[in-house]
Chains A and B, each alone.
Chain A
Amino acid sequence: MSATLIFEQLLNGAGYGLMLFLIAAGLTLVFGIMDVMNLAHGSLFMLGAYVAALVHVHTGSFALAVASAIGTMAVLALLLETTVVRRLYGRDHLVQVLATFGLILIADDAVKMLCGPAPLLAPTPAAFATSVELLPGLPYPAYRLLILATGIAVALGLYALVNHSRMGMLVRAGASDRWMAVLMGVRVHRVFSGVFVLGAALAGLAGALMGPVMAVQAGMGEAILIPAQVIVVIGGIGSVRGAFVASLLVGLVDIIGRAFLPPVLRTMLPPAVAADLGPLFSEVAMYALMAAVLTFRPTGLFSPKAA
C-alpha cells in the first residue's frame, strides 16, 4: 500500500465521517436539548436526498437542488414539530420510539408512492465530475472534495453558532441543564423549534450531498441512523464538538475496515471471505468503540451535562 493510496483512503474516510457529522450534529442537539429520541431523523436525510435528486434532474442545477433540500426539510421540520414532536417532549422514550418509528414507516411509503420503488439516480453535478490532482499521481474526485469542504465549513459554522452566538448560548444552556434554563427565563420552546429545524436542515444538506454516492431509495434513512446514533452517544449527548470528534473516529474506523483491512486479509483468506470481514470489522469496531467510551466516560467524550 503506497502512501498516496493511504492518503486517498483517509480522505475518503474523513469525507464519510463528515457526512455522518452533519446528521449526528442535528441528532445530538435534538436529543441533548429536547430529550427526544427521534428515529425519524434518518428519514429527513432520505427526503433531502430525494428532493435534491428530483430538483437536480429537472432543473440541471445542483446548487438549486441542495438549496431546495435544505429549504424543504426546514419547512417539513417546522410542520412536524408543531404537529407531532411538540407532543413528545417530556414523554417516555418508549412513546417517542413508537411515534418516530411510525414516521419512518410513513416516510418510506410516501417516497415509494410518489417516486416509485426503484432507486432514484442522483447525478453528480457536471462541474464536479472531474478529478483534481491533489498530489502528483493522485487525482481525487472533485465531488468528494466538495463533500469534505462542506463538512468542514458546517463544522466551523456550528462551532461559531454554538459558542459565539446568543442562540448558541441558549442551546448550550438547555443542553447543560434544561430546567435551570427554563427557570432562568429561556424561551425553551422557541429554542426547541429552532434546534429541530436546524437539525433537519443539516440532515437535508447531508442527503443532498450524499445522493450521488449512495442509492437514493426508501430505507436509506434507517441505514444511516444507527451510525449517527452511535456517534451521538460516543461524543456525548448534546455536544456538537463531541459529535465532530466521534464522527471522524467512526469515519476512520469505517475506512480501516473497508479499505485497509481487506487487502491484508486477502493474503490470508479467500477473497470473498476477506470482502465480508472488512465491513464486519468496521461495524463491530464502531460498537466496541461506543462500549469502550461508555465504560470509561459513561456520558460520552464531551458531554455538556452539568456534573
Chain B
Amino acid sequence: MNTLTSPAPGGAALAAVPAAPPARAWWLPLVLLLVLAALPTLAQAAGLEFYIGLVRRILLFALAAASLNFLIGDGGMIALGHAGFIGTGAYTVVALTDFGVQSAWPIWAAAMAVSALAAVAIGAISLRTRGVYFIMITLAFAQMLYYVCMTQRQWGGEDGYTLPMRPQLGFGLDAQNEAVMYQVVLALVAVAWGLLDRLRGSRFGVAVMGIRDNDVRMQALGYPVYRLRLVAFAIAGALAGLSGALLATCNSFVSPSMMHWTESAMLIVMVILGGLGQRWGGPVGALVWLGLAETLRQFTEHWQMPLGVLLVAVALYAPAGLATFRLPRRGGAA
C-alpha cells in the first residue's frame, strides 16, 4: 500500500500514510476539469445562467474546505476559526479597492499574503495550546476579526461593503462577464487544489501527517514540530484567503458575517461530510452541503432542518466513515 520513494530521515518506520492516488484514476481530475470548464456554455444554452454563479460559489468553498481538510484531516489541528481567513482575504479586496487599486491579480495575491500573515500571527499563539483550548483560541481570534470588521465603518461595518465594480483582469478579459469570471475561478481553484494535492504527498505533507499521529515521536526524531505546524497553518490560511478574495470579487459584496463562527462550523461540517483526510474531502463536502442547501431552498423556506437531521445522522450512524481517522488522544493532545 505504501510507496514511499525516499526513505524518511532517521530510518524509523513512519505511521501508514494515505496511499498516493492509484494510477488508474489519474484521469479523474482532468475529466472533472473539462466537464466543469464546459459548464458555462451548457448553462447558457439551456438558459440556466444562475447555475454558473452557483457552481462558482461551490468551487470557492471547495477550495476553502480543502484547505481546512488539510489542516484538520492531515494536520490534526481542529481550527474553529477558518472562516476568519476567508474574511481577511475578502476584506483585503475591500481595502485595496477602496484605496483605488483596480487590477485583480495584485489584489488577489495581496489577499493571500495578508491571510498567510494573519495565519502566522494567529497560529504562533494558538499552536502553543492543544485540544479543546486550541479550538477555543482559534475561535476567539476569528471572532475578534469579525468584530473588528464590524466596526470598520469606512468598509461598511455591519452593513457590508459593495464593490462598485469587479477589479480588472487584463489580458482582454471582461471581469463583469459571469462566464469569464467562472473560468478564471475554475483555473485558480484547480491550480490551488492541484498544488495542495502535491503538497500532501510531498515530504512536508507526510511530515505533517506524522505530527498528527504522534507529535512526541516526531519531535524525538528531530522534526521541528511547531514550525511545521505553523507552516501548514499559514498555507491553509493563504488558500482560504484566496477563496475569500475570489468570493468577494464574484459577489461584489463583502460583509463581516462571512467570518462569523457559524461559517467556520459550516466549513468543518463540509470537511467531515466529504471525508476527513480524504483527497476529495473538501470538494465533495462543499458540493454536498451547498448543493443540498440550494436544492432544498427551492422547495421550502425551512431548508435548515433536513440538513440538521442529516448531520446528526451522519455523526451517529457513520462511525466507520469517521473512524478511519483518529485524532491522537494522548501525548500532549488532550
Please tell me whether chains A and B touch each other in their complex, using a CB distance cut-off of 8 A.
Answer: yes
Which residues of A does B touch, CB under 8 Å?
31, 37, 39, 84, 87-88, 92-99, 101-110, 112-113, 222, 226, 229-230, 233, 237, 272-273, 276-277, 279-280, 283-284, 287, 290-291, 294, 298
- Chain A residues whose C-beta falls within 8 Å of the C-beta of B269 in the assembled complex: 98, 101
Chain A proximity mask over B282-307: 1 for CB below 8 Å, otherwise 0? 00000000000000000001111101
- Chain A residues whose C-beta falls within 8 Å of the C-beta of B305 in the assembled complex: 105-106, 109-110, 113
Contact at A290–B140, with CB atoms within 8 Å? yes
Nearest A residue to B271 via CB reads A94
Nearest B residue to A95 via CB reads B315
Across the A-B interface, how many residue pairs have beta carbons closer than 8 Å? 125
| B56 CB → nearest A CB, Å | 25
Task: Using known A-B contacts A39-B265, A273-B153, determine if residue A287 contacts B316 with beta carbons closer than 8 Å.
Answer: no
Nearest B residue to A99 via CB reads B315
* Residue in B302, B305, B315 whose Cβ sees the most chain A Cβ within 10 Å: B315
Chain A proximity mask over B181-209: 1 for CB below 8 Å, otherwise 0? 00000000000000000000000000000
Contact at A93–B315, with CB atoms within 8 Å? no
Stretch from B33-41, B129-137, B222-230 contacting the other chain: B129-137
- Chain B residues whose C-beta falls within 8 Å of the C-beta of A110 in the assembled complex: 305
CA distance A273 to B151 in the complex (A): 8
- Chain A residues whose C-beta falls within 8 Å of the C-beta of B78 in the assembled complex: 93-94
Chain A proximity mask over B308-321: 1 for CB below 8 Å, otherwise 0? 11111011100000
Contact at B311–A102, with CB atoms within 8 Å? yes
Task: Using known A-B contacts A84-B316, A105-B311, A230-B136, determine if residue A94 contacts B272 with beta carbons closer than 8 Å.
Answer: yes
- Chain A residues whose C-beta falls within 8 Å of the C-beta of B144 in the assembled complex: 283-284, 287
Known contacts A113-B305, A283-B144; 16 further A-B pairs (Cβ under 8 A): A37-B132, A92-B326, A94-B72, A94-B268, A94-B276, A98-B268, A101-B268, A101-B269, A106-B309, A222-B262, A237-B132, A279-B147, A283-B147, A290-B136, A290-B137, A298-B129
- Chain B residues whose C-beta falls within 8 Å of the C-beta of A39 in the assembled complex: 265
| A253 CB → nearest B CB, Å | 13
Q: Which of A93, A102, A276, A290 meets B307, CB within 8 Å?
A: A102
Q: Answer yes or no: B150 CB below 8 A from chain A CBs.
A: yes
| B275 CB → nearest A CB, Å | 12
Nearest B residue to A92 via CB reads B327
Name 7 interchain pairs, CB-CB below 8 A, sorted by A.
A31-B132, A101-B269, A102-B311, A106-B312, A233-B136, A273-B153, A280-B147
Nearest A residue to B308 via CB reads A105
Chain A proximity mask over B113-152: 1 for CB below 8 Å, otherwise 0? 0000000000001000101110111011101100110110
| B223 CB → nearest A CB, Å | 23
CA distance A163 to B311 in the complex (A): 38
Q: Which of A102, A273, A284, A298 meets B315, CB within 8 Å?
A: A102
Interface footprint category on B: 35 or more
Contact at A98–B129, with CB atoms within 8 Å? no
CA distance A285 to B242 in the complex (A): 29
- Chain A residues whose C-beta falls within 8 Å of the C-beta of B131 in the assembled complex: 93
| B193 CB → nearest A CB, Å | 22
Q: Answer yes or no: B261 CB below 8 A from chain A CBs.
A: yes
- Chain A residues whose C-beta falls within 8 Å of the C-beta of B314 in the assembled complex: 98
CA distance A97 to B153 in the complex (A): 33
* Residue in A101, A112, A229, A290 whose Cβ sees the most chain B Cβ within 10 Å: A101
Contact at A226–B157, with CB atoms within 8 Å? no
| B287 CB → nearest A CB, Å | 17
| B75 CB → nearest A CB, Å | 13
| A276 CB → nearest B CB, Å | 4
Q: Answer yes or no: B218 CB below 8 A from chain A CBs.
A: no
- Chain B residues whose C-beta falls within 8 Å of the C-beta of A105 in the assembled complex: 304-305, 307-308, 311
CA distance A19 to B79 in the complex (A): 28
Nearest B residue to A98 via CB reads B315
Contact at B316–A101, with CB atoms within 8 Å? no
Nearest A residue to B72 via CB reads A94
* Residue in A37, A105, A237 whose Cβ sees the most chain B Cβ within 10 Å: A105
| A44 CB → nearest B CB, Å | 15
Contact at B302–A103, with CB atoms within 8 Å? no
- Chain A residues whose C-beta falls within 8 Å of the C-beta of B147 in the assembled complex: 279-280, 283-284
Contact at B143–A276, with CB atoms within 8 Å? no
CA distance A93 to B141 in the complex (A): 19
CA distance A280 to B301 in the complex (A): 33
Contact at A109–B276, with CB atoms within 8 Å? no
Q: Answer yes or no: B322 CB below 8 A from chain A CBs.
A: yes
- Chain A residues whose C-beta falls within 8 Å of the C-beta of B129 in the assembled complex: 294, 298
CA distance A107 to B302 in the complex (A): 11
* Residue in A37, A97, A98 whose Cβ sees the most chain B Cβ within 10 Å: A98
